[in-house]
Amino acid sequence: MTFQEIRHYTTRPGRRDEWLAYMDGTVIPFMIEKGMDVRGSFTDEEDPDGYVWIRPFADEQERKTLYAAVYESEEWKEKIGPVVYSLLEVEQSVVYRVAPT
């Protein structure tokens, strides 16, 4: 079953431009290098700290495999992840998992 994750993040106040630069310059290229497909990256026009992005998965096994490749890597744990968490209000993140109709 193909599905997509639609992720809505809230950046720390006033740090969205910094987040966008880090996401575009570091996070997305790293995820692509690990095999993920990032379909879209968007700012929320109604929230100055809002950010939305989309990535598809062929099935649950692919998602688990790619999550492990990204989030269990030393580069994520030691370098990328700490910067991500410093820029986001992580507790406000919302993830929608959607399937085509």
What is the band of 100 on the pLDDT scale with cuts at 50, 70, 90?
confident
Angle at the Cα of 85 from the Cα atoms of 82 and 89, rounded to 5 degrees: 170
Distance, in Å, from the CA atom of 31 to the CA atom of 21, rounded to the nearest integer, reads 15
Give the domain range for residue 64.
3-98
Q: What is the pLDDT of residues 18-33, one digit of tens each?
A: 999 999 999 999 999 9
Q: What is the pLDDT of residues 49-98, one digit of tens each?
A: 999 999 999 999 999 999 999 999 999 999 999 999 999 999 999 999 99
Which residue type is seen at 75?
Answer: E
Q: How many domains does the chain have?
A: 1
The mean pLDDT value of the chain amounts to 96
pTM flag (> 0.85) = yes
CATH number for position 89: 3.30.70.100
